[in-house]
Amino acid sequence: MLEDELRVSTRVIGNIAVIDLVGDVTTFAEAKINAAYQEMSQNGAQQILLNFRQNDYINSAGIAILIGIVTEVTRNDQKLAFSGLSPHFQKIFRMVGLSQYAKIYQDEQEALTDLQDAATA
């Protein structure tokens, strides 16, 4: 079913809350992404990494969900980053301005290393 095309799970690595997004990011993803973000925030997360995997498709509704997360992150004085984006997703994120508000890393490991270094600096 199309509604099941995004799987969302959460992990904590060091002081970084990782939200894994596997699949398509569309309007059907809103409740899952927002619930994962709220769970991590309520647990005190200050650094949040949205880790994308096997993502074939994002649409304007999916982008709107991510802009909503940026709004919340800004309001809660948290730090947001993206990793694992395909070249097409990176292009879209730059096009709509998301890359101005969250650093884009090539992969999860690069993101974790840089974010942990920044936190201990």
Partner 1 sequence: MHNGQTSIELIFPSILGYEVVARRVVATFADFVGFDQARIDDLKTAVGEACINAIEHGNQLQPDLPVYITSSYDGHRFAVDVSDTGTNPLAIIKEPKTIEEKLAGAASLRGMGMMLMAALADEFIVEPSAAPGNTVRLIWYQREVAHT
Assess 76 for contact with partner 1 (CB under 8 A): no
> Shortest Cβ distance from residue 116 to partner 1 (Å)?
27
Instruction: Report the alpha-carbon distance of residue 28 to residue 49 in Å, rounded.
Output: 21
Stretch that binds partner 1, among 7-15, 61-69, 76-84, 106-114 (CB under 8 A): 61-69
> Shortest Cβ distance from residue 113 to partner 1 (Å)?
28
Assess 6 for contact with partner 1 (CB under 8 A): no
